[in-house]
Amino acid sequence: MGNVACCCSDPINFDGDVDLYHFDLHRAVGKGAFGKVRVVEHKKTKKLYALKYIDKAKCIKQKAIANIIQERRLLEEIDHPFIVNLRYAFQDDENCFFVLDLMLGGDLRFHLERLRYIPEDVVRFWVAELSCALEYLHRQRIMHRDLKPDNILLDSLGHAHITDFNVAIHYSERRLHTSVAGSMAYMAPEVIGRLGYSWCADWWSLGVVAWELLFHRRPFDGRSAEKMKHSILKDPIRFPSSARDKCSKEGQQFILGLLDRNPRTRLGCRDRDLGIEDVRSHPWMAKIDWDNLENKDVQPPFVPDMKKANFDVAHELDEFLMVEKPLTHTKRKTQHPDLEKMKPELRQLEEQFTIYDFTKTRRMSYYPHNQPITTLGHQEDAEPGEVIQSATNTLLPTSTVVDRSQAGSPINEDVGRYTHPPIPSLAGHGSEES
């Protein structure tokens, strides 16, 4: 019976490369297509984080390796108060791990479903914080492409943070993008209509989010993907009959400014040099103290109830009921695997899903050095493209979709080597698939 004494584990080398042994595993708080999100505690610092882990086998099966590596690389470039930032990244034989800032206040979808009414001042506060995050991302030449209530998390104090960079990309400085990615109900017309798009599409999505938070419904509806697409491209934008009771005239004008179908005249996009000042100078935002807001010195008007779980407790039950294989600390079969003998996808993960430790590694950019940005095009009609659903989320029309131009679409670092012929609807512009 001498071999049973498993409690005497090897000492942990905190000076070495970070791995799962550096953390104690706590409760599961979320679930994605390839794994779960758990609360973890760093054994040395005692700090709590969110651990997002991704099953390599599922990832390979769904042809999502490029997305995982892309997300890993983009997160290394990001550090902002209103974004769920990456703190560590590593892998073992079965999983890739992201260790992220912990947000225990729940996502906005959770609160939207439980609150009968969200006051205008709460929505304005969240929109102001999110606009700071978007402006920062766009300065980094990053488009999120999937802004929706599900991907906005509150911390325990009530501050809003953007998460889930699974379909985020570096937007090109020389070509507009044409691949359909995001969640249909929140897609800008230039995305869903394949008119060619850039960073302005994120501001449209913010407009849809603000509308939904205020009115408990989305501005564009459709029982089918085709009807929703038509609604986004063509239907007049009409506020609900009760809008006056829930949102001021200035608030309605702000949202309509974001929901401008022409990206060149959309709020936040009208003048690249003006940038976020276009948003900040709007009458709806007149009372915001932007310096204090960015320093998180403004008291959030909505504070989550931390006595309750702000997430679906069913995530934990899965493991108790043995529905899924629980996550455990496991040593790698070999510390230095022979890359030549590995499957191409696993080799790609070994080589490109590199270790990240925010206490040791300097954040770096993988941005390809492109030419100055082109003028955004805008056309009423373009050839419709098929929307292909990926396994990153739930069903249409609110699921994340990404239209891949090829099975393992290239990482943007290599964008110069993978160019595609321009599509006819973009007169005067090249197109770029990502």
Instruction: State which amino acid sits at residue 348.
Output: Q
> What 8-state DSSP symbol labels residue 342?
S
Which amino acid does the sequence have at 365? S
Helix axes 200-215, 249-258, angle to 10 degrees: 140
Q: What is the distance, to the nearest Å, from the Cα of residue 409 to the centroid of all Cα atoms in its chain?
A: 18
- Tell me where in the chain the CATH 3.30.200.20 domain(s) lie: 16-104+312-357
DSSP state of 40: E
Q: Which residues are catalytic?
A: 146
Q: What number does CATH give the domain 108-306+375-432?
A: 1.10.510.10
CA distances from 420 to 175, 188, 200, 375 (A): 10, 22, 22, 19
**Is 341 assigned to a binding site?**
no
Q: Token pair for residue 377?
A: 């095009």
| Contacts with 28 (C-beta within 8 Å, 6 or more apart), sequence order | 36, 37, 38, 315, 316, 318, 319
pLDDT at 331: 76
The answer to whether 434 and 388 have CB atoms below 8 angstroms apart is no
The rounded distance, in Å, linking the Cα atoms of 296 and 100 is 19
Tokens of 194: 């394949």
Angle of the 249-258 helix axis to the 120-139 helix axis, nearest 10: 30
Please report, for residues 98, 103, 332, the alpha-carbon distance to residue 306 in angstroms, rounded to integers and kept in the order given: 24, 11, 37
Query: Quick check: 58 and 342 in contact, CB under 8 A?
Result: no
CATH 1.10.510.10 residue ranges in the chain?
108-306+375-432
Alpha helices in 97-248 (DSSP H): 108-114, 120-139, 189-192, 200-215, 225-234, 243-246
Question: Which of 140-162 are b and which e, b meaning 16 or more Cβ less than 10 Å from the residue's Cβ?
Answer: bbbbbbbbbbbbbbbbeebbbbb
What is the pLDDT, as a whole number, of residue 367?
Answer: 66
Distance CA 314, CA 29 (A): 9
Residue 284 gets which letter from DSSP? G
Q: Which two tokens stand for residue 6?
A: 């498993």
Per-residue pLDDT at 273: 72
CA angle 130, 184, 236 (to 5 degrees): 90
**Tens of each residue's pLDDT in the chain, 434 residues:** 444 444 446 788 888 899 999 999 988 887 766 678 899 999 999 999 999 999 898 888 888 888 899 999 999 999 999 999 999 999 998 899 999 999 989 999 999 999 989 999 999 999 999 999 999 999 999 999 999 999 999 999 999 999 999 899 999 878 899 999 999 999 999 999 999 999 999 999 999 999 999 999 999 988 889 999 999 999 999 999 999 999 999 999 999 999 999 999 999 998 777 778 989 999 999 999 999 999 999 999 999 988 877 776 555 555 544 445 677 777 766 666 666 667 888 888 888 899 999 998 777 777 654 333 233 333 333 333 333 333 333 334 556 666 543 222 222 222 222 222 222 222 233 444 55
The CATH class, in words, for 16-104+312-357 is alpha beta
Tokens coding 58: 């599922």
Largest CA distance in the chain: 76
Which residues lie across from 40 on neighbouring strands?
A: 25, 49
CB count within 10 Å of CB 12 equals 13
Would you say 167 and 67 are in contact if contact means Cβ atoms under 8 Å apart?
A: yes
DSSP label at 83? B
Is residue 40 within 8 A of residue 25, CB to CB? The reply is: yes
Contact at 8 Å (CB) between 273 and 242?
no
Give one word for 138, left, alpha or beta, with left for phi > 0 and alpha for psi -120 to 50. Answer: alpha
What is the 8-class DSSP label of residue 178?
-
Contacts of 97 (CB under 8 A, 6+ apart): 20, 51, 52, 53, 54, 88, 89, 90, 91
